[in-house]
């Protein structure tokens, strides 16, 4: 059952390692609450795809930053899902290829890109309350939110999940690059509830998050 709409929009930040179930669980939580779902990884992937399409070297931070200044994007929201279009096009399928997965951590390490993404992602609040998934939502994009979750699972389990999706990927290498970059690295936000879901179903993971959100909302109500 969707909750009654909060007076002020609220943000649920769901961060975590690759293939830790962020997307599935963020969508389930957003649906249960009637909030807008935002996949910030998809925005970084869109820039990586744009660079590949325009023969811009993803390993050249200056060229990537220049592309990010120039590209023509729009933030859209339909059916409780916020996303970015480039030149009026949403490359929904194209951003999931192995080439884009390989290029995206390099693009995501560029400080100017992260500044642009943070501003754009914060703008999503115009669509209402959000469930936003990524790597730095609780630490950097919406550090002021009280609703922070960090998902993780054993590497073998995460690799198995990716393989089941038909994707062969070195998750350990990508997590390492995401955690070791200087700008807004992947880390657990202060006050985040950490959920290791190696042995949990998505119903159990999203149920744990929803129960915690409802507790916090009730505590808020009691304090008001």
Question: Which span sits near ligand DC by CB under 6 A: 6-14, 54-62, 78-86, 130-138?
Answer: 130-138
How many other CB atoms are there within 10 angstroms of residue 220's CB atom? 12
Question: Which span sits near ligand DC by CB under 6 A: 39-47, 56-64, 67-75, 197-205?
Answer: 39-47
Closest CA to 18 of 158, 132, 148, 154: 158
Distance CA 39, CA 81 (A): 9
**Sole binder of ligand DC in the list 44, 49, 116, 150 (CB under 6 A):** 44
Question: Which span sits near ligand DC by CB under 6 A: 60-68, 71-79, 133-141, 161-169?
Answer: 133-141
**Sole binder of ligand DC in the list 28, 178, 205, 209 (CB under 6 A):** 178
Tell me the longest C-alpha to C-alpha distance in the chain: 55
Residues near 43 by beta carbon (within 8 Å), at least 6 away in sequence: 83, 84, 117, 120, 121
The smaller minimum CB distance to ligand DC, of residues 10 and 151, is found at: 151
Size of the site for ligand DC (CB under 6 A): 14
136 binds ligand DC (CB under 6 A): yes
**Sole binder of ligand DC in the list 21, 32, 37, 45 (CB under 6 A):** 45
Are 176 and 18 contacting, i.e. CB atoms less than 8 angstroms apart? no
Question: Which span sits near ligand DC by CB under 6 A: 57-65, 69-77, 129-137, 165-173?
Answer: 129-137
Q: Which residue's entry shows tokens 């120039």?
A: 70
Question: Which span sits near ligand DC by CB under 6 A: 41-49, 122-130, 197-205, 216-224?
Answer: 41-49
174 binds ligand DC (CB under 6 A): yes
Q: Is 181 left (phi over 0), alpha (psi -120 to 50) or beta?
A: beta
Q: Going residue by residue from 78 to 117, which x/- string records binding to ligand DC, judged by CB under 6 A?
A: --------------------------xx--x---------
Are 168 and 212 contacting, i.e. CB atoms less than 8 angstroms apart? no
**Sole binder of ligand DC in the list 17, 25, 26, 40 (CB under 6 A):** 40
The two structure tokens encoding residue 63: 């060229």
**Sole binder of ligand DC in the list 27, 37, 135, 148 (CB under 6 A):** 135
Residues near 109 by beta carbon (within 8 Å), at least 6 away in sequence: 61, 177, 181, 182, 183
Question: What residues are paired with 45 via a beta bridge?
Answer: none
How many other CB atoms are there within 10 angstroms of residue 127's CB atom? 18
Point out which residues bind ligand DC (CB under 6 A).
18, 40-41, 44-45, 104-105, 108, 134-137, 174, 178
């Amino acid at each position: 059952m969707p909750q009654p709409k909060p007076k002020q929009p609220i943000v649920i930040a769901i961060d975590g390692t690759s293939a830790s179930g962020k997307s599935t669980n963020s969508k389930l939580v957003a649906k249960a609450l009637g909030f807008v779902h935002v996949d910030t990884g998809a925005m970084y992937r869109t820039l990586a795809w744009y660079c590949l399409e325009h023969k811009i070297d993803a390993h050249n931070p200056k060229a990537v930053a220049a592309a990010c200044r120039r590209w023509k994007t729009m933030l859209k929201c339909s059916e409780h899902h916020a996303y970015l279009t480039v030149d009026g096009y949403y490359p929904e399928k194209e951003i999931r290829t192995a080439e884009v997965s390989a290029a995206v951590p390099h693009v995501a390490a560029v400080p100017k890109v992260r500044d642009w993404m943070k501003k754009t992602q914060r703008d999503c609040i115009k669509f209402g309350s959000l469930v936003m998934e990524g790597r730095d939502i609780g630490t950097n994009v919406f550090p002021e939110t009280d609703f922070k979750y960090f998902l993780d699972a054993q590497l073998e389990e995460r690799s198995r999940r990716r393989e089941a999706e038909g994707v062969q990927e070195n998750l350990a290498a990508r997590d390492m690059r995401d955690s070791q970059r200087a700008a807004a690295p992947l880390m657990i936000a202060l006050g985040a509830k950490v959920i290791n879901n190696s042995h949990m179903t998505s119903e159990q993971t999203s149920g744990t998050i929803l129960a915690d959100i409802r507790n916090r909302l009730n505590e808020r109500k009691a304090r008001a």
